[in-house]
Chains A and B, each alone.
Chain A
């Protein structure tokens, strides 16, 4: 150790924005309260507060990101100077800026609140604040005249506060807080137009489905807390909720493998729910019942990546718990891979443009999960970043089409087509984002998605690389289909300017439509639309679209692996270095408890502030070599696939094939009405079966609602009823009979023979009891109570027997 030890001091710079990052979620939280109480009296009904708060959060996040870049530069350059001849391989670990204050305490446990700022947190902060700002500006126009306009902005602002709070959480408690706030806002916003039953059903479905997963979050947090708390208190002086403490514990090699595995599985179940992964993805397409800005912000670019973020945030736990370093198939990569393909297939049979995008989101989330599960941490996080821009842009474009082009309908087959000429800006932004999503060079999606596929293969998961490539083909194909149906071909329905009464087949739609329009728009503006037919949307809608499209074009360049290391900014600034860090160079001040453990204990929370001496060790990163005493590390050593044009060319060819074949098919099918293709699903049995299977979403909803609910809930109810009717009543009956016989025996033998007043009385009493018991009454509450208490007693008895 001595030979490698570097005694140089690397001073990590810090700054005002980094130190006060906790303000970022606090601003929208305050704005939320103000909107709720004063919003209706404001000139713009509270929306100005929402937009202003998001813009200031954006400024704060941007400032913090800038100062983080300075900080990384100072550390990396310092390390470079220090290690001139040393065998320095691992990337230097830049201490995150962590501040933690005691939020509440109970019975000696302290629960902290504060911020944990590192590259990952900042990426998400900037993305969330940015997209939230644009979406709120967009909503100014999109929801103009809505009857719950103020509440909409209040919920949107609260959502942003919750997400920002979760992203910079330094501990699991704050993370859960933000996570649950997001779930609540998602529920409120999906059900924004709750007057229609479908919407409130969708809101409930989303809420309950995600809650199923959320149980995993609580359980996982509890498992990890109780297994890690001793270690983290002893070595780091922080509680077992602390995220960096948990990371260090997982990487220390002293953690129990079963606790890690079960903790990771439980947490991943929460991610499955939140991020719409395979078995629990069914809520996400239904969540499109909410207003389009909500779909854009919550259900594509930000909230649903919370699960991916959680995996990325606690990556050491998953790395060790799931054995990601090995090339065996693990839970995460498996779920991610399945999700990619099944969601992409579902996107082909949708008529609703937003549902296509919803399934596309599910599929892209599958990419991120697969990447994380295969050790491709950086590409997955980068994909969160790029995906947010182009998917938000796609959703907002779809909203723009529905707002101005198709008369508030989202049905591609009935009410769209040929809109490219009438809505040139929307069409352009849509097409740019589509190409970015498909992964065409040099748009944003290429640099992230291709990297994921590449790294999955490089990590040894060859089968999943093929899954990824298949997904890329499918993505290109279904997005081309949606593009064609919306913007090209002949105009249909509302897109052709057809009015409610002009067309018979349109009536059903019209009925729904008038209903909708009362919710969304004041009647006169709605009529204005109707008179003009399809037209380009106003500036409040198109400007956010153009900004997002510009980012969809360029965001990929921020980590452009093909262009050499100087372009890999994400790798430098976001990925934590996997380097052993000496514990014990600073003293803590915030928690009094830390001092009890003596001088060796350091409060990581304060480590970043005055930071003077971080003793660097030149080692080959964490989890590769065994740690030395007093060393901890916070991130595993992940491999990075070297970029090869040959591999990129392969995936580009696949994407191009998807685009071209789907385009040709669409032209033949939808415009030329080619006889051999039209009606193919009716003629061919195999195709028809596949189509029906997809159309019914793999029958998963039926599985959940009919099979599982009926087969589990009903038998339990039935069994309980049976127990009630047969066993309990039987016991009561039997007891009644026994006492009656007993009474009879007493009467015959004792009473008759021993002529004694006392005995005579007891015999009579017993007979009376027996007689009273004959009609079995339904003293249900007491029976339940008896069952409960005797079960408790028997349970205790079993425990006693086992333990003696």
Chain B
């Protein structure tokens, strides 16, 4: 009973990916080279896509790879290039008082972990893990264009404004 429910392979996969993601995330916020940080971020984002697959959200995972790993990372690298950041290591990438972040982050982590463990404990994500089926895209589209049409409209508007705004801001006059 336990053997069928535990899904050893998935749990091991989760552990490895999580470890990679956390290491990657820590590197993103600590390395002293902007380009390296961007490359570490690629690892975190790909790891997140893998986690989405574990959560049977295929469409979101694909979108993640396309949008984040594809487009957003290219944007970041362009931004790095255009602002002529040094490709090598930089000494002053951090604030002078960067240590303020540590207690704040630890405090938040403490509170959140307590709440999560207290609230969910060892609760299963789904009663029978074998039942987890990939969500058909059709269902997602029904959801987007049904009850959540209005946020979708608002989102389209935000994207339009962002495109115009980005052009206006970055245009050279």
| A residues neighboring B (CB under 8 Å) | 104-108, 732, 735, 739, 769, 772-773, 775-777, 779, 782-783, 786, 789-790, 792-794, 796-797, 800, 804
Contact = CB atoms under 8 A, between A and B. Distances in A.
B115 interface: yes
Interface in B101-123: 101, 103-105, 107-108, 111-112, 114-115, 118
Nearest to B101: A786
A782 B104 CA distance: 12
14 contacts: A105-B147, A105-B149, A106-B148, A732-B100, A776-B97, A777-B97, A782-B101, A783-B100, A790-B104, A793-B107, A793-B108, A794-B107, A796-B112, A797-B107
Contacts of B147: 105-108
B84 interface: no
B83 to A, nearest CB: 17
Contact of B111 (A775, A783, A797, A804): A797
Given A106-B148, A779-B96, A797-B107, 14 more contacts: A104-B149, A105-B147, A106-B147, A106-B151, A107-B147, A732-B100, A775-B96, A782-B95, A782-B100, A786-B100, A789-B108, A790-B103, A793-B108, A796-B112
Contacts of B148: 106-107
A158 B149 CA distance: 28
Contact of A106 (B105, B115, B118, B150): B150
Contacts of B99: 735, 739, 769
Contacts of B108: 789, 792-793, 796
A800 B150 contact: no
Contacts, number: 63
Contacts of A779: 95-97
B115 A800 contact: yes
A105 B104 contact: no
A721 B112 CA distance: 31
A789 B104 contact: yes
Contacts of B101: 782, 786
A775 B95 CA distance: 12
B96 A772 contact: yes
Nearest to B150: A106
Enumerate the 6 nearest inter-chain pairs by beta-carbon distance, A residue then B residue, closest first. A777-B96, A106-B150, A793-B108, A779-B95, A793-B107, A786-B100
Nearest to A775: B96
B29 to A, nearest CB: 13
A753 B148 CA distance: 67
Interface residues of B, number: 21
Contacts of B97: 732, 735, 773, 776-777, 779, 782-783
A773 B111 contact: no
A770 to B, nearest CB: 11
Interface of B: 95-97, 99-101, 103-105, 107-108, 111-112, 114-115, 118, 147-151
Nearest to A735: B99
B150 A104 contact: yes
A590 B166 CA distance: 44
Nearest to A797: B111
A796 B111 contact: yes
Nearest to A107: B147
Given A786-B101, A789-B104, A800-B115, A773 B150 contact: no
A773 B96 contact: yes
Contacts of A800: 111, 114-115
B104 A793 contact: yes
Nearest to B107: A793
B115 A796 contact: yes
Contacts of A793: 104, 107-108, 111
Determine which residue in B99, B104, B114, B118 has the highest number of CB atoms from chain A within 10 A of its CB, and name it.
Answer: B104
Contacts of A108: 147
A105 B150 contact: yes
Contacts of B112: 796
A769 B97 CA distance: 9
A732 B150 CA distance: 46
A732 B99 CA distance: 10
A794 B103 CA distance: 12
Given A769-B99, A800-B111, A786 B150 contact: no
Contacts of B100: 732, 735, 782-783, 786
A731 B96 CA distance: 13
A116 B117 CA distance: 51
A488 B95 CA distance: 77
Contacts of A739: 99
A107 B147 CA distance: 5
B146 to A, nearest CB: 9
A779 B97 CA distance: 7
A797 B104 CA distance: 13
B22 to A, nearest CB: 19
Contacts of A769: 99
B77 to A, nearest CB: 24
B112 to A, nearest CB: 8
A769 B100 CA distance: 13
Nearest to A788: B104
Contacts of A107: 147-148
B149 to A, nearest CB: 8
Contacts of A772: 96
A51 to B, nearest CB: 35
B13 to A, nearest CB: 31
A790 B107 contact: yes
In this complex, the member of B97, B105, B107, B114 whose beta carbon has the largest number of chain A beta carbons within 10 angstroms is B97
A792 B104 CA distance: 10
A779 B114 CA distance: 31
Contacts of A794: 107
Contacts of A105: 147, 149-150
B170 to A, nearest CB: 21
A714 B83 CA distance: 39
A782 B99 CA distance: 11
A790 B148 CA distance: 33
A557 B149 CA distance: 52
Most chain A CB atoms below 10 A, which of B96, B112, B149: B96
A107 B118 CA distance: 29
A156 to B, nearest CB: 29
A769 B150 CA distance: 51
A732 B148 CA distance: 46
A108 B143 CA distance: 11
A240 B114 CA distance: 37
A308 B16 CA distance: 66
A790 B112 CA distance: 13
A69 B49 CA distance: 66
A444 B111 CA distance: 68
A786 B96 contact: no
Contacts of B103: 790
Nearest to B98: A782
A804 to B, nearest CB: 8
A103 to B, nearest CB: 10
A790 B109 CA distance: 11
A796 B107 CA distance: 10
Nearest to A789: B104
